[in-house]
Structure 1
Amino acid sequence: MTDDDPDRDIRCQDALQAAYRELVSAAIMAGWSEREVVLAIGELADKHLLSLETNDNADALIALLRRMT
């Protein structure tokens, strides 16, 4: 698989599907509702994305500052 594969995102979802179902099932068995679990996973994913974006922005700023010195 290459980075320019137009179905790369779908293939990634397929690769994660079984683990995702297991995670949701385990959380439901621990007493959370399916809605709570899915919302929590979504929130965690959003926070992770924001963290990645923040790190990318910080890296770009550091690179800019290094070029200026």
Structure 2
Amino acid sequence: MAIEIPLQDLIQTAVRAGWDEPEVLTAIIEVADNLMLAHGSNAELDALLKALKRNLE
């Protein structure tokens, strides 16, 4: 995977900075989860705005 090596580098950098590996992985999962939630919210908002625009036309 194209993202695997940069992600491993990020984990190693965080561990060298003093984080425990499970902490790093938990933080990455939390960030990914937040990004997915935001993406879903944006998609729902876009759909609502398109529906409103159609209703106004």
Instruction: Flag whether TM exceeds 0.5 (same fold).
Output: yes
> Between Structure 1 and Structure 2, how many residues are aligned?
56
Normalising by structure 2, report the TM-score.
Answer: 0.97
- Give the unaligned 5+ runs of structure 1: 1-13
Report the aligned-residue RMSD. Answer: 0.3
Higher relative contact order (CA 8 A, sep 6+): 2
Separation in 2, partners of 1:54, 1:17: 27
Structure 2, unpaired ranges of 5+: none
Q: Give secondary structure in 2 for the equivalent of 1:15.
A: coil
Q: Which runs of 4+ in 1 moved over 4 A?
A: none
TM-score (norm 1): 0.80
